[in-house]
Amino acid sequence: MKFSSSSCVPSWAEAGQLCPYGSVAGPPIAHFTWPPPQETTYFTYIAACYSTAPFDIALGLLISLICVHGVRDLFAVLFFFLQGAVMMTLKAAISQPRPTSSCLVSCGMPSGHTLMSVGFFTWFALEIVSRKENMTVARKFCWLLVAGIALLPVGWSRTVLGDHSWLQVCIGAFVGTALGGLWWYLLKQRCTYWLIKLLCAHIPLLVKNYPPDPMEEEMPWAQAGAGVPVAATSIRPNTQKDYGGTTH
């Protein structure tokens, strides 16, 4: 993902020269360095496929939002832009150049590819693990395995292509994990359920496909963790008289 800063531009780019380490390739928002033919290996092709992750995620979210137009898809798009904003802010604040082997002229700390892929994996993993209905342990494991294979090697791919150092990848993974966990926590709050009801009531085309466990939305206030003490919800003693005249 691209975000340029004058302090991160390599010397060959400032001199108006071509990159001596290869060429820039990849779709929008997912550029990477393609090395010379003599340096290309089998792993280079695998890394190139993984390095298109931001574009793949953006395209998938757009298609899902258009076809499904659900609450979950809307939240996923918002999370995508949130990660992008955090990534650009950190790149501008840190302004650390990429490794010298990269043909990209944007700042490298943290790795935006890694931040986004790990962020979505963290959110997805927490949603899967916390599922209570219609989800066996074996099925959860399969979903996590598929998501892990699809998203987690993205950081590795950035080091193979020389666009990030391992430190930049690790910091991106740390920030992505924190954002994914925070996003999941915010979506589990009682106020988010109210927001979902409000959106579905005023946007006719919006499908209520979140949260995945519908029964969780109807939990009592205290049990839902909204800050109300459980003691406050205790039932008062029944002082009504029955037909026999006794008091309970």
Q: What is the pLDDT of residues 166-197, one digit of tens each?
A: 999 999 999 999 999 999 999 999 999 999 99
Q: Are 60 and 141 in contact (CB under 8 A)?
A: no
Q: What is the CA radius of gyration of the chain?
A: 24
The CA–CA distances, whole Å, from 96 to 16, 168, 201 equal: 21, 9, 46
Q: Is 247 left (phi over 0), alpha (psi -120 to 50) or beta?
A: beta
Question: What's the whole-model pTM score?
Answer: 0.82
Residues 6+ apart with CB under 8 A from 154: 50, 51, 53, 113, 114, 117, 118
- What's residue 212's pLDDT? 79
- Looking up tokens 């780019």 gives 13
Instruction: Give the model's confidence band at 204: pLDDT under 50 very low, under 70 low, under 90 confident, else very high.
Output: confident
Which pLDDT band holds residue 223 (cuts at 50, 70, 90)? low
Instruction: Tell me which amino acid residue 181 is.
Output: G
Distance CA 138, CA 149 (A): 17
How many residues can be counted in the chain? 248
Determine the Cα–Cα distance for residues 168 and 171; give it in Å rounded to an integer.
5
Residue 188: both structure tokens together: 């589990």
